[in-house]
Amino acid sequence: MRERWTSRPLFIFAAIGSAIGLGNVWRFPYLTYEYGGGAFLIPWIVCLIFMGIPWMMMEFGLGRYFQRGAPGVFEGIGKKWEWLGWWPVWVAFLLVTYYTVVIAWSLRYAISSLTVAWGTGEAGASGAGAFFFEHILKLSDGPGVLGAPVWATLFCLAFIWVILFFIMYKGAKVIGRVSVWLVCIPWVLLAVLLIRGITLPGAVDGLNYYLTPNLAALADPEVWFAAFSQIAFTLSLGMAGMIAYASFIAKKADVTNNAFITSFSNCATSFFAGFAVFSTVGFIMQALNVPVGEVSAAGLGLAFVSYPVAISMMPGANAVIGVLFFLCLFFLGITSAYFLAYGGVIIPLMDKFGLGRVKATAIVCAIAFTIGILYTTSGGLYWLDIMDRTVSFYGLLITGALACIVVGWVYGARKLREHLNATSDIKVGAWWDWLIKVVVPAALIFVVIYGGFMKDIAAPYEGYPLWAASMIWVILLATLGLSFWLQAIKTRTAKGGE
Ligand code: PHE
């Protein structure tokens, strides 16, 4: 018998836990800010409804129907398609190797927050950047200079993998129960941070930046690219994991509804986190007397530089707020990390090679940790950035587009829809078939070409040296090749079924 979620809420919480993650707290707010504030919400919602939810229904439906992880699903569609199930497994695996490093930084920050180690008041505010780059990362001059691992980060990383091992080695039963806690705790923490944020002076200015729509931005294709890729990323699609999670659902259970619940809960969390973050950004502007544009809101800087600046400047309870914020990131990250490792990698390996769960879990944890050491070195941030572009942009979008095409045209979108409708309260119409067959893959391919290839081929990604930026293509091709190799290996029937 395949393992099962012991109840429906456990599956839903596990799926929500995978979806809400670092992406909701730092990526969503800064994208919103960068792409026209409130206007960004429009493409974001359009993408959620026309792309995210239908795609999630597809992944849930496939997992439940075939009762296998991603490679098993594509093998079920046709022996020659199995590689298309392995490619996202590689993507998920590479993603978790560095995602856990970001969680390790969060943990270090939670600890540093106890004493507000970067300093309070003006001194802390001006020292927060240096703290991140010099103290936490010990950043080197470029991707060619790796240097030694930063031991504190490495230690936290090892600790995280031990926790992940203990959550995963018993499978869905424990994952489901742990997820309920690890989803509810960040929600409570975010609520506390929100209240703190909106009661700070200057909060209103931040919220104005967050929500005032700049409608002219809608004409800019970049905004749409950003919305597409953010929705795919935030819903944890295209990573093989959702398919595996759904494969533990009993054949008769509803999945369409679960896809709606999961997607909306995730996006509501992002929206909510935006208030907590932007009210705080507004406060920094006022306290430091700088316009919002100068608050470094981009990427990791938002969570690890701007927020610490705010913590330094807060009128009281600095340490508490710091600890809560970084613990929130930590918990949010952990649920996504075990989702990637378990659903994305361990289940496919167990399905294919008949490995026992404990053994498969131990192997994956050990290898992923070892690769993660690279990102804890002084040059690690550069590689993290390059790897992020490779897997969470190209890998995710390309494998997602191919999966939709194969499911839509080879397996048959209609067949899958009938399967979904047979057990679901919400019945979807034929429009869904066309979303999967044409709209979603076309949108994804468009983003890959215009938002990706056109830029990264014209000039090395982010101005890195050519040899380093070229690793994007090397890794993509290597993982594709390895996926074909895995397809060629004969499947061993699992011992005892699971
Ligand atoms: N959805 C997660 C987030 O928003 C990231 C993630 C992507 C996790 C893909 C797993 C798979 O942070």
| Phi, psi torsion values for 465, nearest 5 degrees | -60, 150
Q: Which residues, listed in sequence order, are joined to residue 377 by a DSSP beta bridge?
A: 149
Distance 88 CA to ligand 1 centre (A): 13
User: Smallest Cα–Cα separation from 3: which of 58, 63, 57?
Assistant: 63
Atom of ligand 1 at shortest distance to CA of 21? 12
Distance 230 CA to ligand 1 centre (A): 10
Distance 317 CA to ligand 1 centre (A): 31
Each residue's pLDDT expressed in tens, for the chain with a length of 498 residues: 789 998 999 999 999 999 999 889 878 987 887 787 788 888 999 999 999 999 999 999 999 999 999 999 999 999 999 999 999 999 999 999 999 999 999 999 999 999 999 888 888 888 888 899 899 999 998 899 899 999 999 999 999 999 999 999 999 999 999 999 999 999 999 999 999 999 999 999 889 888 887 788 888 888 888 898 899 999 999 999 999 999 999 988 889 999 999 999 999 999 999 999 889 888 988 888 776 655 554 567 778 888 888 888 888 788 999 999 999 999 999 999 999 999 999 999 999 999 999 999 999 999 999 999 999 999 999 999 999 999 999 999 999 999 999 999 999 999 999 999 999 888 999 999 999 999 999 999 999 999 899 999 999 998 999 999 999 999 999 999 999 999 999 887 654 444
DSSP assignment, residue 23? I
Question: Hey, whose CA ends up nearest to atom 6 of ligand 1?
Answer: 236
Is the minimum distance from the CB of 175 to ligand 1 under 6 angstroms? no
- Distance separating alpha carbons of residues 337 and 350, to the nearest angstrom: 18
Atom of ligand 1 at shortest distance to CA of 344? 11
- Distance separating alpha carbons of residues 368 and 218, to the nearest angstrom: 40
Going by C-beta distance under 8 Å and a sequence separation of 6 or more, which residues neighbour residue 428?
57, 256, 417, 420, 421
Coil, strand or helix: which one is 36?
Answer: coil
Distance 265 CA to ligand 1 centre (A): 14
Is the minimum distance from the CB of 266 to ligand 1 under 6 angstroms? no
Coil, strand or helix: which one is 377?
Answer: strand
Is the minimum distance from the CB of 23 to ligand 1 under 6 angstroms? yes
pTM: 0.94
**Between the CA of residue 434 and those of 51, 148, 413, 439, what are the distances in Å?**
11, 51, 8, 7
Going by C-beta distance under 8 Å and a sequence separation of 6 or more, which residues neighbour residue 405?
437, 441
- In this structure, the number of other CB atoms found within 10 A of the CB of residue 290 comes to 11
- Distance separating alpha carbons of residues 465 and 388, to the nearest angstrom: 17
Distance 400 CA to ligand 1 centre (A): 14
User: How confident is the model at residue 47, as a pLDDT?
Assistant: 94
Going by C-beta distance under 8 Å and a sequence separation of 6 or more, which residues neighbour residue 196?
276, 280, 314, 317, 321
Contact predicate 312/119, CB 8 Å:
yes
- From the number of C-beta atoms within 10 Å of its C-beta (0-12, 13-18, 19+), residue 253 rates as middle
- Distance separating alpha carbons of residues 276 and 197, to the nearest angstrom: 5
Atom of ligand 1 at shortest distance to CA of 24? 4
Torsion sign across C-alpha atoms 166, 170, 176, 180: negative
Distance 127 CA to ligand 1 centre (A): 30
Is the minimum distance from the CB of 403 to ligand 1 under 6 angstroms? no
Coil, strand or helix: which one is 235?
Answer: coil
Q: Which of 32, 190, 233 to mutate to test the pocket of ligand 1 (most atoms within 8 A of CB)?
A: 233
Is the minimum distance from the CB of 340 to ligand 1 under 6 angstroms? yes
For the chain, first and last CA: distance in Å? 6
Residue with the two structure tokens 């009762």: 67
- From the number of C-beta atoms within 10 Å of its C-beta (0-12, 13-18, 19+), residue 449 rates as exposed
Coil, strand or helix: which one is 37?
Answer: strand
Is the minimum distance from the CB of 262 to ligand 1 under 6 angstroms? no
User: Smallest Cα–Cα separation from 397: which of 224, 221, 231?
Assistant: 231
Torsion sign across C-alpha atoms 386, 392, 393, 398: positive
Going by C-beta distance under 8 Å and a sequence separation of 6 or more, which residues neighbour residue 117?
131, 135
